[in-house]
Each structure stands twice: as C-alpha cells, then as structure tokens.
C-alpha cells in the first residue's frame, strides 16, 4: 500500500484536468495513488478522467451517489475518506505540480519526522490580470512567513492576521490522521481551505518551503472567484476563526466585542434610509435599505 494519496476534487474542468493528471503521472516518485472525485460535472470531465483510469490503475475515479453535485466541502471530505495513503496531497483540477513535488516533500518529512503539514511556494500562470491582482497578497504572505522559523505551529500567525497563509489546496501535503476531527462546514464556501487550515493550526506542526512546486492556474472562472459572501457569512466565519484559535475566555471577550459592534451597526442600518456603507472585520459592505 502506498503512503501517498493525491486527492483531486473535479468539477467542469475538462479543459484542464488532463494537465493536472499528467503532472501526477510525471512525478519522479512513482508509488502513489490519485483519488479523483467528480462533483457532478456537466461537461466531459468524467469521460476524460475515465480514459486515464483505464490507462493507469493508480488513478481512481469516484462520484457522489447518482452523480450528484454536493459542493467542494463534501467532495474534499469524500476524497480523503477514500484515500489509502498515510499522507494526503491536495491538487485542484485546474492546477499542476512539478515533477519533483512528491520527492522533495518526502525529503522534508524524512528530515523533520514531527511535521504534520508541508506547504510550498506557488508559481502563478494563466490570465495576466488575475495574476496581478494576487501580487499584493503574496507580498503580505511572504513578510509573515519570512519571520517564522520552520518547522513551526502557525497558530500565533493566524491569530494575528486575517490572510490565508496557505494560498491553495494545491500546495499542501498533510498526514491523513490530522483530518479525523475536521469540520468541513465553512460559513464561506469559497474559503473552505482557510477554514481547514485554521483548524489544523491549533495542533499541527507545519513546514514551509519557498520552492515553487505548485503551478496555480489563475482565471476568472476559478472557485475562489465565485460568489461574494454576505456580511452574515463573514461574521460567522470570523467567529469560528476565533473559536479555533483562542482560549474560551478570549473567545468570550472577542465575540462579545464583535457582537456589540455588529449589533450596533445592524441597528444603524435598519434605522437609516437609503444607502449606507459599513466596515466589518476590515471589509467594506454596501447596503441599500427600503424607503
């Protein structure tokens, strides 16, 4: 039985999934299995995946019952459950990994056997405009990660910042055991990855390598560019963030503070006619009230 399982959630990316699968087949380390879970694709993705399964028995296709679309959270969870390996590598169905991805990460965990999660640098490719939009984020991320000596916990770093220090599923390799008690029900669906990393930050030892082992495809139709969350969803997400990363007393104090601020602003919104802009958790929201 292999120690390495690559888990890929697939949805309507028939134009990209070939490159994704072939980047796994091109690994210098050959003892792996690839678990592809299709989330009710409406295009030709399933047939494309099946063609690779027929050629390579290490690649396995799974689907939800009756080919249903259950969303990313259920799909990722299902993929992890099917995996036989001790280590899970996530790879989104529009991304690729370098040929030495697995080999280099295995060397890291051999050197640091106490590490639970290994993540790496990113090479962005695709739409120029979308890439440029991400540059400020990566500049902030680098400043934070450069101050940390790895292996390390990321709990304190996540307590102090609201940015996602691990930018994509496709740069993460983690022990399967760390997902046993994970809550996948993220209040903001497109922030599922951050929701999971916040939980892992409580107990896991992590290692970051700045080697760009992941090719992150940037395009307007990607999952991260999906529907914007509501203020209520942001509130729920940040409350969960506090619960994951702080003591019970800190949770009470911080939640009480946020709740009061949130309640006052909601009252103000409902009592004010016309359009009003407010700021919650560092984000601006624009509300239009009925006359």
pLDDT the model gives residue 243: 83
Across the strands, what pairs with 10? Answer: 38
Same domain, 221 and 252: no
- Nearest alpha carbon to residue 144 among 75, 233, 210: 210
Same domain, 252 and 219: no
Same domain, 17 and 149: yes
DSSP 60-102: EEEE-GGG----HHHHHHHHHHH--SSEEEE--TT-EE-TTHH
Total tally of structural domains belonging to the chain = 2
pLDDT the model gives residue 283: 59
- Nearest alpha carbon to residue 189 among 136, 236, 123: 236
Euclidean distance between CA atoms 130 and 77, whole angstroms: 28
Same domain, 173 and 275: no
Same domain, 144 and 89: yes
Token couple for 52: 């690779």
Q: Which domain holds residue 133?
A: 4-225
Token couple for 42: 């409406």
pLDDT string in tens for the chain (291-residue length):
679 999 999 999 999 999 999 999 999 999 999 999 999 999 999 999 999 999 999 999 999 999 999 999 999 999 999 999 999 999 999 999 999 999 999 999 999 999 999 999 999 999 999 999 999 999 999 999 999 999 999 999 999 887 899 999 999 999 999 999 999 999 999 999 999 999 999 999 999 999 999 999 998 877 666 667 788 888 788 878 888 988 766 666 666 666 666 556 555 545 444 555 555 555 566 655 444
Euclidean distance between CA atoms 90 and 121, whole angstroms: 14
* pTM, rounded to two decimals: 0.85
DSSP 128-190: HHHHHHHHHHHHHHHHHHTTPPSSB--HHHHHH--S-SS--GGGEEEEGGGGTT-----SSGG
Same domain, 167 and 251: no
Token couple for 114: 């106490």
233 is a domain residue: no
Same domain, 60 and 99: yes
| CATH (domain of 198) | 3.90.550.10
């Amino acid at each position: 039985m292999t120690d390495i399982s690559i888990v890929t959630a697939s949805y309507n990316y028939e134009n990209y999934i070939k490159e994704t699968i072939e980047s796994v087949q091109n690994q210098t380390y050959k003892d792996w299995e690839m678990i592809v879970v299709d989330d009710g694709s409406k295009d030709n993705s399933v047939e494309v995946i099946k063609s690779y399964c027929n050629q390579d028995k290490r690649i396995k296709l799974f689907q939800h019952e009756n080919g249903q679309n259950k969303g990313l959270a259920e799909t990722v969870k299902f993929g992890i459950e099917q995996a036989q390996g001790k280590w899970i590598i996530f790879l989104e169905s529009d991304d690729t990994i370098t040929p030495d991805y697995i080999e280099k990460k295995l060397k890291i965990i051999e050197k640091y056997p106490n590490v639970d999660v290994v993540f790496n640098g990113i090479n962005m490719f695709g739409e120029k405009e979308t890439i440029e939009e991400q540059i400020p984020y990566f500049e902030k991320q680098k400043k934070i990660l450069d101050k940390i000596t790895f292996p390390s916990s990321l709990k304190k770093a996540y307590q102090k910042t609201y940015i996602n220090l691990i930018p994509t599923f496709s740069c993460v390799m983690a022990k399967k055991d760390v997902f046993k008690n994970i809550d996948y029900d993220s209040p903001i669906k497109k922030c599922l990855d951050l929701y999971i990393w916040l939980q892992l930050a409580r107990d896991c030892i992590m290692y970051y390598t700045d080697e760009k082992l992941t090719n992150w495809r940037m395009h307007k139709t990607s999952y991260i560019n999906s529907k914007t969350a509501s203020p209520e969803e942001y509130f729920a997400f940040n409350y969960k963030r506090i619960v994951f990363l702080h003591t019970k007393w800190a949770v009470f104090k911080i939640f009480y503070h946020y709740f009061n601020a949130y309640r006052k602003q909601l009252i103000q919104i409902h009592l004010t006619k016309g359009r009003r802009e407010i700021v919650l958790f560092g984000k601006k929201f624009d509300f239009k009230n009925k006359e």
